[in-house]
Amino acid sequence: MDIGIIARRYAKALIAYAVEQKAEDVVYQEILMFVKNYQEIKQVAEVLDNPLLASEQKINIICQAASNEASPVFRKFAALVVSHHREAFLPFIAHSFIGLYRKMKHISIGQLITAVPVADKEADRLEKWIEDLAANSTDVILDKKVDPKILGGFIFEIDDYRLDASVATQFEKIKKQFIEKNKRIV
């Protein structure tokens, strides 16, 4: 069976159960923490792949990776995943759940790349402007990155939209135009 199909099914089941229990926001935070800890702490992945570890130990470690005190909804879900021997798919399930939750709550993730750090005040203004533009009352979470390679300006991405106003891109465009003109002369 395809990993994506398995992950999507479990994620849909988790979000449906969490909504039913009115715990979707808590579970979302736990899933975010689980993903963060899974990426940063290599032992979590080793535990999930270890066939010799007892199911209860795996469930406890999964819950600890998600929160110091995991919610009953998350604990029950972890038990379901472990009982069906799908713990290796947990990172994929988590990412699928995050996508479903954000779609359900109308949350968009934007990325702002600048050559130098941008002030929080300016980033907040940009977030507010984007939220005002959105017709379906979308919440925007802005991820700020600093990349000196762009030389100046900014690159802004949200969903399928990309606005590249970087100096490096402008230089590249000028270079291509210059090369094209010079090819015709020779």
pLDDT exceeds cutoff 90 at 126: no
| pLDDT score of 137 | 60
For residue 159, is it left (φ>0), alpha (ψ between -120 and 50) or beta? left
Phi-psi region of 65 (alpha: psi -120 to 50; beta: other; left: phi over 0): alpha
Residue 134 has pLDDT above 80, yes or no: no
Mean pLDDT of 26-49: 91
Would you call 151 helix, strand, or coil by DSSP?
A: coil
Residue 138 sits at φ, ψ, to 5 deg, of -80, 135
The gap from C-alpha 152 to its chain's centroid, in whole angstroms, comes to 26
Q: What is the average pLDDT score of the chain?
A: 88
Band (101; pLDDT cuts 50, 70, 90): very high
More confident site: 126 or 174:
174
Quote the CA–CA distance of 171 and 123 in Å, as a whole number.
Answer: 25
Angle between helices 55-66 and 72-83 (to 10 degrees): 140
C-beta atoms surrounding 161 within 10 Å: 10
Fold of the 3-103 domain: Peroxidase; domain 1 (1.10.520)
| H-state helical runs in 50-166 | 55-66, 72-83, 90-104, 120-133
Nearest residue to 167 (alpha-carbon basis) of 184, 181, 151, 156: 151
> Residue 175 CB: number of other CB atoms within 10 A?
10
Radius of gyration of the chain (CA): 22
Helix, strand, coil share (%) of the chain residues, nearest 5: 65, 15, 20
Q: Which two tokens stand for residue 2?
A: 């395809």
- Separation CA 40–CA 46 (nearest Å): 12
* CA gap 168, 179 in Å, rounded: 17
pTM of the model: 0.77
